[in-house]
Amino acid sequence: MRVTIKSIAEAVGVSRGTVDRALNNRSGINHEIAEKIKKTAEEMGYRPNLAAKALVKTKVVKKIGIILNSEGNEFFDEVKRGIEDSLQDLCEFGLEYEWRTMKGYDDKREEELMEELEGLGISGLVMTPINSERIIRKIHEFHKKNIKVVAINSDVLNTERIAYVGCKHKKSGTVAAGLFGLMSQGREETVAIVTGSKLNLALERRERGFVETIEKDYPNIRIVDILGNDDSDELSYEVTERLLKEYPNLDGLCFLGAGVSGGIKAVPSHRNANFKVVTFDLIEAVKKGLSNNLIAATILQEPYKQGFDGVQIMGKYLLFQQMPKNEKNYTELSIITKYSM
C-alpha cells in the first residue's frame, strides 16, 4: 500500500499540514518534530507523488476560493479541519487556495468576499452560501464566468452550484422532534425553539422538519414559541432567559443551530424537573451540558466530512474536469447522549 502524507501524519500523531511542511522544508514547524516526521517517512518508505509533480508542471495552476461564515461559531472548527486536510491532499497537485471568513449572515459582505476572491483569480469556490437573492445572482454570475461553486453545510436555492455537501436538514429537525416525542412518554408538554438567521436555509428547513413532525406525530406536545438568536451567544442567552421566565413550566427547549454556549447558561435557573434540552453538534459547551445533565441529547452531522468532501469535489473538478457523481452529497446524522459521548 502506498505511503501517503495522511498515513505519516497518523503514525506521528500530527496533522497532514504539519507533515507537508516538514517534508517540503517549510517554516512554521518545530525542528524536533520535523526531524521525527522525516525519519518516520523514511522508515515507512515514503516516496513523493511524482505523477502529481509532473501534473503541476504541465497544467495551469488552479486556485480554490473558500468562504465560511464561521467567525464566532465553534461548530465550524471541525469543518475547517476537514478543509485543511483536504487542501493538503490537493496541494500536492499544485492547487492553490485563498480562504476568507465572516461572521453571521450579511449577504452584502459575502458578495464582497466573492468579488475579492474572483479578483484573485479563483477557478472554483467552496462556500457556506447565504440564501438570499444577492448571493443567488452572484453564483449565477460565477457560473457564466465558469467559476464553479460547491455549497457546504447549508445549501442555496435555484442556482447552478455543482454540488452540496451536508446533512438532510429537514430530516435533522424531524430527528430532534422525535427525541422530544420519545422523552415526553405521551405526557402533555410544551417546548420552545431557539433558531438562527432566516437567511440560513439549513435552519429554515430544520425548523420546518421539527414543527411538521410535532404537529403530525406528537399532538401531546405544543410549541409555544420560536425565537431567533442570529447565531449570537449573547442574544441567545437573552432570548433563552426570556423564554424561561415567560414559560416557567416549559418542558423542553431545542437549539437548532449556534448560540448554545450562551443559551445554555440561562438553563440552570429553570426548575421544571421534566425540563430537557436538545441541541445540534458537539462543541465544548454541549459536551459540558451533556456531562452536567443540562442537555439530554445532541444531533451530529459530520462537520469534518462536510469540509473535506466539499474541497475534494472542487479539487477533482478543477484538476481532472471530474463532475461529482451526486449533486447532493448527504452526511450522516447521529444522536449523542451523556452515555455515548
Q: Distance from CA of residue 237 to its chain's centroid? A: 22
Statement: residue 19 has pLDDT above 90: no
CA distance linking residue 46 with residue 11, whole number of Å:
12
- Using an 8 Å Cβ cutoff, are 126 and 64 in contact? yes
Residue-wise pLDDT tens digits, 303-319: 999 999 999 999 999 98
The closest of 272, 243, 245, 275 to 259, measured between CA atoms, is 243
Q: What value does the mean pLDDT take over residues 255-282?
A: 91
Share of the chain above pLDDT 90, in %: 76
- Using an 8 Å Cβ cutoff, are 260 and 279 in contact? yes
- Using an 8 Å Cβ cutoff, are 138 and 151 in contact? no
Q: Which three cell numbers stand for residue 22?
A: 516538514
Residue-wise pLDDT tens digits, 127-153: 999 999 999 999 999 999 999 999 999
Number of C-alpha atoms within 13 angstroms, CB side, residue 55?
A: 15
Q: Which three cell numbers stand for residue 168?
A: 438532510
At 29 the pLDDT is: 85
Statement: residue 271 has pLDDT above 60: yes
pTM: 0.83
DSSP 101: E
Kindly give, in sequence order, each residue whose CB lies less than 8 Å from that of residue 179, ignoring residues fewer than 6 positions away: 278, 296, 297, 299, 335
Q: What value does the mean pLDDT take over residues 272-281?
A: 92
57-166+303-331: CATH, from 3.40.50.460, 3.30.1330.40, 3.40.640.10, 3.40.50.2300: 3.40.50.2300
Helix axes 303-320, 76-91, angle to 10 degrees: 30
At 154 the pLDDT is: 96
- Using an 8 Å Cβ cutoff, are 227 and 195 in contact? yes
At 54 the pLDDT is: 46
Place of cell 431567533: 228
| φ, ψ at 297 (rounded to 5°) | -160, 155
CA distance linking residue 17 with residue 101, whole number of Å:
20
With bands split at pLDDT 50, 70 and 90, how would you rate the model's confidence at 53? low
Q: What value does the mean pLDDT take over residues 246-251?
A: 94
With bands split at pLDDT 50, 70 and 90, how would you rate the model's confidence at 51? very low
User: Which is more confidently placed, 49 or 250?
Assistant: 250
Per-residue CA distances from 306 to 5, 82, 157, 311 (Å): 21, 7, 18, 9
Kindly give, in sequence order, each residue whose CB lies less than 8 Å from that of residue 73, ignoring residues fewer than 6 positions away: 231, 258
CA distance linking residue 229 with residue 235, whole number of Å:
5
Statement: residue 4 has pLDDT above 80: no
Domain residue ranges of the chain, discontinuous segments joined by +:
5-48, 57-166+303-331, 169-300
Residue-wise pLDDT tens digits, 90-110: 877 778 899 999 999 999 999
DSSP 332: P
At 49 the pLDDT is: 60
* Residues listed for the chain: 341
Task: Convert 269-327 into a string of H (helix), E (strand) and C (coil).
Answer: CCCCCCCEEEEECCCHHHHHHHHCCCCCEEEECCHHHHHHHHHHHHHHHHHHCCCCCCC
CA distance linking residue 282 with residue 301, whole number of Å:
10
Which CATH number is associated with domain 169-300?
Answer: 3.40.50.2300
Mean pLDDT of the chain: 91
CA distance linking residue 62 with residue 64, whole number of Å:
7
User: Which is more confidently placed, 243 or 93?
Assistant: 243
169-300 and 57-166+303-331 share a CATH fold: yes
The closest of 137, 126, 128 to 200, measured between CA atoms, is 128
Alpha helices (H) along the chain:
5-12, 16-23, 31-44, 50-58, 76-91, 107-119, 133-144, 169-184, 201-217, 233-246, 260-263, 284-291, 303-320
Class of domain 5-48: mainly alpha
